[in-house]
Amino acid sequence: MSERIRLVVDGKPAELDADPAMPLLYALRADLALNNPKFGCGLAQCGACTVHVDGRPTRSCVTPVGAVKGKKITTLAGLGTPERPHPLQTAYIGEQVPQCGYCLSGWVMTAAALLRDTPKPSDTQIRQALAGLKCRCGTHMAILRAVKRAAGAKA
């Protein structure tokens, strides 16, 4: 059974008629036509679907859209703009991290929350924050360098 669900996505109000049990990921991709969080595993194990819900990294593939009614959802597209990219977006380009880009949402959104809460994280803190994410391209070392670079840019 559908119900009217209101959200704020990337700073813009959004409304959809959806089953409240439907995963947030499906609402973002199918109903709101956003192409970056990705469906990876559907089990919250890879992180490709990560978005921020009221500032907290959240695996949207297992989060019911009904659980985020009225909340602020930020996707990778809402983190920065081409004119004013987030420091992580700039650092990812500087470190030439993206390869296929499929997992990018998970890594950037998780690291953005880490840097917001811990502006100068240690290597251990970075590794712990990113531990549950998967990248099949093997860019893990470049990702770690990018997070450190972004932490330096925020100083």
Last residue of a domain, one of 78, 93, 121: 78
Mean pLDDT across the chain, nearest whole number? 95
Distance (Å) of CA 3 to CA 62, 65, 66: 19, 10, 9
pLDDT, tens digit (0-9, with 9 covering 90-100), for 100-143: 889 999 999 999 999 999 999 999 999 999 999 999 988 999 99
CATH number of 100's domain: 1.10.150.120
Last residue of a domain, one of 78, 109, 128: 78
| Same domain, residue pair 93 and 68 | no
Where in the sequence is the domain holding 102, given as residue range(s)?
80-153
Last residue of a domain, one of 26, 44, 78: 78
Partners of 112 in the β-ladder = none
CATH number of 39's domain: 3.10.20.30
pLDDT, tens digit (0-9, with 9 covering 90-100), for 134-148: 999 889 999 999 999
| Same domain, residue pair 74 and 84 | no
What lies within 8 Å, CB to CB, of 33 at 6+ separation is none
Residue 76 and residue 36 in contact, taking contact as beta carbons nearer than 8 Å: yes
| Same domain, residue pair 89 and 119 | yes
Tell me how many domains the chain contains: 2
| Same domain, residue pair 136 and 100 | yes
